């Protein structure tokens, strides 16, 4: 099966050739190109100049790739931040990675948000507050600095010109279930999915944002449990190979009945877009919601034959399945394409389009690192560390 798969995936050769210099494991995660954003020099963006008086509009919110209304709790946090500015007579400023407050304001805001968090007794409300605060800070800190589409610094590193859009086969819908700490992260790869396929084929759902999660679960209810699959290795009986999953699930019979889509019967694939440590909480939340909606706690999970092979070298630090989110989607599309039921939907081309975008992101992050005077040759010395 694996041999068959490799034949169907000539794309990896492109990835290998392009990324040779990137493949070694860095001495510390922060030295990886994937983490270069977090090592950016401090940058002060005075919110006064970039829109203190400008509320977060629907246009701005959805410009970042979301499909929901502006989350009410995010707006509340933004208002609270502005109140705090007036109260302590200090302007917010952000540095480095965009979403990190700095200086005197940070000290005061730290105290305030910790107290607020402690005072919330309901665990659901705690999660929602945590997410809203993370997202609000990232939104304000990235305003006027990051390109809304590619989440890279717009004047220096925007890679949008290199993205080629591609239509996804209409029977599939990806959901990027993203941790708030990955939102607007420059090295996030989940964003590539909606850049390439559009937000209706690959939809962002932020963990802990009620507006996003409601949209996702409404779609899941329509699709039915058998048409919702999570790419997560949870070691349970609910985990199946893609081929087994196809035998038992996917009741929509999409390939023979295109009208099924008009009933919302997509095959929904959930990609958990967070670090290893965050992903278990994210999966737990999905399971709890599944129990609420379907009366059964387990979610169907898919394991990929390629899970730990070619792609994991893209992202040296540990992540949930040793691969990055975009690579997981590429692996999924490539495996699907090898199955007779799906071989006429050009899924291979779609995988290739995503792979090209991933390469472009890698090159943009590498160029950024080089421009900042950080060596990349050092990585070659550690090539043998790759497993």
Sites of contact with Zn ion (CB under 5 A): 147, 149-150, 158, 160
Closest CB to Zn ion among residues 150, 204:
150
Closest CB to Zn ion among residues 157, 335:
157
Q: Which residue is nearest to Zn ion (CB)?
A: 147
**CB 204 → Zn ion: shortest distance, Å?**
16
**CB 63 → Zn ion: shortest distance, Å?**
11
Closest CB to Zn ion among residues 158, 367:
158
Closest CB to Zn ion among residues 65, 95:
65
**CB 193 → Zn ion: shortest distance, Å?**
15
CA distance 387 to 385: 6
Residues with Cβ within 8 Å of 139's Cβ and at least 6 positions away in sequence, in order, are 56, 60, 61, 64, 74, 78, 184
**CB 352 → Zn ion: shortest distance, Å?**
21
Looking at the chain, which runs of residues are DSSP E strands? 45-46, 93-95, 100-101, 172-178, 202-206, 228-231, 239-241, 267-273, 301-303
**CB 163 → Zn ion: shortest distance, Å?**
8
CB of 271 closer than 8 Å to CB of 325: yes
H/E stretch holding 51: helix 47-51
Cα 118 to Cα 113, 126, 130, 263: the distances in Å are: 8, 8, 11, 44
Closest CB to Zn ion among residues 147, 223:
147
Q: Where are the alpha helices (DSSP H) in 298-346?
A: 325-337
Closest CB to Zn ion among residues 192, 216:
192
**CB 156 → Zn ion: shortest distance, Å?**
11
**Tokens at 303, concatenated:** 């394991």
Closest CB to Zn ion among residues 149, 289:
149
**Tokens at 200, concatenated:** 């209706």
Mutual orientation of helices 72-88 and 123-142 as an angle, nearest 10°? 70
Long-range contacts of 376-382 (CB under 8 A, 24+ apart): 376/21, 376/22, 376/33, 377/21, 378/26, 378/27, 378/31, 379/21, 379/22, 379/23, 379/24, 379/26, 380/21, 380/24, 381/24, 382/24, 382/25, 382/26, 382/27
DSSP annotation string for 61-101: HHHTT--SPPPHHHHHHHHHHHHHHHHHT---EEETTTTEE
**CB 212 → Zn ion: shortest distance, Å?**
22
> What are the phi and psi torsion angles at 308 (to 5°)?
-110, 15
CA distance 35 to 316: 10
**CB 372 → Zn ion: shortest distance, Å?**
19
Closest CB to Zn ion among residues 159, 338:
159
Closest CB to Zn ion among residues 149, 285:
149
**CB 148 → Zn ion: shortest distance, Å?**
7
């Amino acid at each position: 099966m694996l041999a068959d798969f490799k034949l169907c995936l000539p794309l990896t050769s492109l990835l290998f050739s392009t990324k040779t210099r990137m493949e070694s494991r860095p001495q510390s995660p922060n030295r990886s190109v994937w983490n270069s954003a977090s090592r950016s020099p401090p940058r002060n963006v005075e919110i006064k100049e970039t829109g203190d008086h400008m509320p977060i509009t629907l246009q701005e919110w959805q410009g970042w790739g979301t499909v929901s209304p502006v989350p009410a709790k995010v707006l509340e946090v933004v208002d609270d931040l502005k109140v705090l500015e007036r109260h302590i007579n200090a302007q917010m400023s952000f540095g480095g990675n965009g979403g990190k407050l700095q200086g005197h304001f940070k000290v005061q805001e730290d105290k305030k948000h910790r107290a607020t968090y402690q005072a919330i007794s309901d665990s659901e409300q705690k999660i929602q507050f945590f997410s809203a605060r993370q997202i609000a800070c990232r939104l304000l800190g990235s305003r006027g600095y990051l390109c809304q589409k590619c989440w890279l610094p717009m004047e220096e590193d925007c890679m949008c010109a290199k993205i080629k859009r591609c239509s996804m086969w209409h029977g599939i819908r990806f959901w990027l279930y993203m941790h708030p700490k990955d939102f607007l992260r420059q090295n996030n790869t989940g964003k590539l999915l909606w850049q390439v396929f559009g937000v209706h084929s690959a939809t962002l759902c932020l963990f802990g944002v009620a507006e996003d999660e409601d949209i996702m679960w409404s779609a899941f209810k329509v699709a039915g449990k058998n048409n919702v699959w999570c790419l997560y290795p949870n070691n349970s009986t609910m985990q199946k190979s893609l081929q087994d999953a196809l035998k038992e699930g996917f009741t929509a019979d999409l390939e023979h009945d295109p009208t099924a889509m008009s009933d919302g019967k997509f095959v929904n694939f959930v990609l958990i877009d967070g670090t290893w440590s965050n992903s278990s909480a994210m999966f737990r939340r999905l399971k709890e919601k599944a129990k609420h909606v379907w009366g059964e706690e387990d979610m169907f999970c898919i394991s990929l034959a390629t899970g730990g092979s070619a792609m994991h070298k893209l992202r040296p630090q540990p992540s949930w399945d040793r691969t990055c989110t975009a690579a997981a989607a590429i692996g999924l599309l490539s495996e699907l394409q090898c199955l007779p039921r799906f071989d006429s939907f050009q899924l291979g081309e779609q995988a290739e389009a995503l792979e090209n975008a991933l390469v472009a992101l890698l090159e943009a992050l590498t160029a950024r690192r080089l421009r900042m005077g950080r060596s990349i040759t050092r990585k070659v010395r550690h090539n043998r560390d790759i497993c």
